């Protein structure tokens, strides 16, 4: 078989699976990954080239400062905690333990590795771009501003957790729709809280949300592609024994 025939064969194989729900899920995740990664890179390009979005960042930050309200600031100070690294870490561990107790090791590994990965990636990008925080911020932080860690972390981690939980058996289609809508609203609330508290510019939040969505969809694509594999085979014996301690005995 010639090298040029290889892509054609893959396309034919993909087309033959177009009615397979699992393939449709993978295709949708691939599209989401491409779109959100492209959106992230577009924001990065605009920031580096000092495009109009940089001017809008400052103007929008000043507008929010002038029109801010003490009651709303108090509300968003609480809402933003849902995207805090410590809270997300506790939530991730709690969900992982819940999944391990139900022998869902692959799903637990997905949530743990995905959460760790987005936090490490975002921290590295902050150091790379080293953008200062807005001058009018109500909360003064020592870390860099671009991209928003709250937006990236919450978007990625909540997406992974809710996807895994909504994919479990017995969850109705209506519940999955409500879960998706709830995820969008929660991610938007956390992202806007960072703007209202003026610890981030608009482009920081847009970059964070798109980065988190790209990371989550990429992780989920790999998870769906390798769903039949057993992550336990990659773990050392001591870790497996610890997992057995967490896993209740089978009812059979």
Note the pLDDT of residue 2: 46
Q: What is the pLDDT of residue 62?
A: 83
pLDDT value of residue 161: 94
Q: Give residues with Cβ within 8 angstroms of 121, minimum separation 6.
A: 152, 211, 215
Domain boundaries, the chain: 21-246
- Can you give the pLDDT at residue 131? 86
174-177 — which CB contacts under 8 Å span 24+ positions?
Answer: none
Instruction: Quote the CA–CA distance of 212 and 155 in Å, as a whole number.
Output: 5
CA dihedral 240, 245, 246, 250 (to 10 degrees): 100
Q: Kindly state the helix (H) or strand (E) to which residue 6 belongs, with its residue range.
A: helix 5-16
Give the Cα separation of 49 and 46 in Å (integer).
5
Dist. CA 129–CA 127, nearest whole Å:
6
What pTM was computed for the model? 0.82
The pLDDT, as a whole number, for residue 16 is: 58
Digits of tens for pLDDT over the chain (252 positions)? 444 555 666 555 555 565 666 767 888 899 999 999 999 999 999 888 877 888 888 888 888 888 888 888 889 989 999 999 999 999 999 999 999 888 888 898 899 999 999 999 999 999 999 888 887 666 676 788 899 999 999 999 999 999 998 887 777 778 888 888 999 999 999 999 998 888 888 999 999 999 999 999 999 999 888 877 666 565 555 555 555 555 665 544
């Amino acid at each position: 078989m010639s090298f040029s025939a290889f892509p054609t064969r893959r396309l034919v194989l993909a087309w033959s699976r177009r009615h397979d729900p699992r393939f449709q899920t993978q295709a949708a995740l691939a599209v989401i990954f491409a779109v959100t990664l492209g959106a992230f890179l577009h924001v990065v390009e605009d920031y580096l080239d000092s495009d109009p979005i940089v001017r809008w960042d400052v103007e929008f930050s000043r507008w929010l400062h002038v029109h801010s309200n003490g009651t709303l600031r108090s509300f968003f100070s609480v809402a933003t905690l849902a995207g805090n690294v410590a809270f997300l870490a506790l939530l991730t561990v709690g969900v992982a333990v819940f999944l391990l107790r139900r022998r869902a090791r692959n799903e637990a590994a997905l949530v743990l590795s995905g959460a760790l990965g987005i936090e490490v990636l975002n921290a590295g990008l902050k150091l790379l771009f080293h953008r200062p925080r807005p001058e009018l911020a109500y909360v003064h932080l020592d870390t860099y501003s671009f991209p928003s860690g709250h937006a990236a972390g919450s978007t990625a981690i909540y997406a992974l957790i809710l996807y895994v939980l909504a994919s479990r058996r017995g969850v109705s289609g209506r519940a999955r729709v409500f879960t998706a809508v709830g995820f969008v609203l929660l991610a938007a609330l956390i992202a806007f809280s960072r703007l209202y508290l003026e610890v981030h510019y608009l482009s920081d939040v847009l970059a964070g949300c798109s980065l988190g969505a790209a990371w989550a969809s990429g992780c989920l694509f790999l998870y769906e592609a390798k769903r039949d594999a057993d992550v336990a085979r990659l773990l050392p014996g001591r870790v497996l024994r610890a997992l057995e301690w967490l896993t209740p005995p089978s009812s059979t």
